Amino acid sequence: MLDFFQMIVSGIAVGSSYALMALAMVIIYKTSEVVNFAQGEMALASSYFTFMVLERYGFSFITAFISAFLFALLLGIVLEFAILRRAKEPNLLGLIIITIGLEFVLLGFVSWKFGADQQIFPFPISPYDSISIGGAFFSLLELVSLGIAIIIMIFLFVFYRYSKLGMAMKATQQNQVAARIMGIRTKRIMMLTWGISSMVGCTAGLLVSPVLMEPFMMWDPMLKGFSAAVLGGMTSLPGAVAGAYILGIIENLFGGYISIEFKSIVAFAIIVLVLCVKPSGLFARHYVKKV
């Protein structure tokens, strides 16, 4: 029984990094209906920027983190303004392919600039610090990740529900032409959406970096985050978070009771099943556009 409880706890903890990546992808999808496969490498670039500010220039931890979020915001804005917006007569498939190209460009740049060797990220909380509650062990870093994921989810829910900018983002996603007629500057909305999404992804990268910091460190969280978003619903922020924790728990139980070697395939099997049974996800509503 204790082993089962420990696997549940570990699954929830692992699901926190998936949840942050899922939130970042859903933010862009809710506005533009584009799946951003460069999300992981945007977080990677922001994490290595933080590492450079800390290690090479000797800035304080707080200053480095503030500069990391500003860098992530600027990176998202620049990618949308300079690359995606310049695509001529784009369709959804074309924009998705562009994000895949951006993924490998950012990965190549980070590998060239910092090398392929694993780095040690100077995070104030060690990934090996843990506490025991009821016989189950909780990593302090995982608890911090869980708390941050919940706070960001609540903030984004309030932001989309009650702020003018959040409602403008939802209006842009539903109908860009109608939104422009109503006076919403949709191009600015798209730009800010990418910036905000990049900041959320940066948070995930900074929490993954103390455990493993190397150029491919965000591939697994990004793919699992995408799986979680599909499971919960690509248009539902709470659904994406719930999907991330469900995925983390199922993955851990599968690894503990069935096979640790095939643990990673669970996420992709879930994508196939959900898309076949409920294409809109478990917690999202399915809308049909009529012309």
- Tell me if 175 is assigned to some domain: yes
- Tell me if 290 is assigned to some domain: no
Judge whether 59 and 281 are in contact, CB under 8 Å.
no
Under the banding of pLDDT at 50, 70 and 90, the label for residue 288 is low
* Highest mean pLDDT out of 49-53, 86-90, 148-152: 49-53
Q: Which CATH number characterizes residue 204's domain?
A: 1.10.3470
Greater pLDDT, 56 or 83 = 83
- Tell me if 282 is assigned to some domain: no
Q: Is the pLDDT of residue 209 over 70?
A: yes
- Tell me if 192 is assigned to some domain: yes
- Tell me if 121 is assigned to some domain: yes
In terms of Cα–Cα distance, which of 9, 36, 43 is closest to 205? 43
Crossing angle of helices 186-208 and 61-82, in 10° steps, is 140
137: helix, strand or coil: strand
Q: Is the pLDDT of residue 291 over 50?
A: no
pLDDT tens, position by position, 68-118: 999 999 999 999 999 988 887 778 888 889 999 999 999 999 999 998 888
At 89 the pLDDT is: 72
Residue ranges making up the domain that contains 213 = 2-277
- Tell me if 291 is assigned to some domain: no
- The stretch 181-209 carries a mean pLDDT of 90
Counting the structural domains of the chain, the total is: 1
Lowest model confidence (mean pLDDT) among 48-62, 208-222, 245-259: 245-259
- Tell me if 287 is assigned to some domain: no
Greater pLDDT, 30 or 216 = 216
pLDDT tens, position by position, 61-74: 889 999 999 999 99
- Tell me if 221 is assigned to some domain: yes
Rounded mean pLDDT of the chain? 85
At 101 the pLDDT is: 93
- Which residue type is seen at 50? T
- % of the chain surpassing 90 pLDDT: 27
Judge whether 3 and 255 are in contact, CB under 8 Å.
no
Greater pLDDT, 7 or 74 = 74
Q: Is the pLDDT of residue 289 over 60?
A: no
pLDDT tens, position by position, 215-251: 999 988 898 899 888 888 888 888 888 888 888 888 8
At 234 the pLDDT is: 85
What 8-state DSSP symbol labels residue 135? Answer: T
Give the CA distances from residue 220 to residues 169, 177, 189, 197, in Å, rounded to whole numbers and listed in that order. Answer: 28, 37, 29, 18
Q: How many residues can be counted in the chain?
A: 291
User: What is d(CA 54, CA 61) in angstroms, rounded to the nearest whole number?
Assistant: 7
Q: Is the pLDDT of residue 1 over 70?
A: no
Lowest model confidence (mean pLDDT) among 3-7, 225-229, 285-289: 285-289
User: What is d(CA 197, CA 239) in angstroms, rounded to the nearest whole number?
Assistant: 17
- The stretch 145-168 carries a mean pLDDT of 86
DSSP E strand boundaries for the chain? 130-133, 136-139
The contacts of residue 231 (CB under 8 Å, 6+ apart) are 243, 246, 247, 270, 271, 274, 281, 282
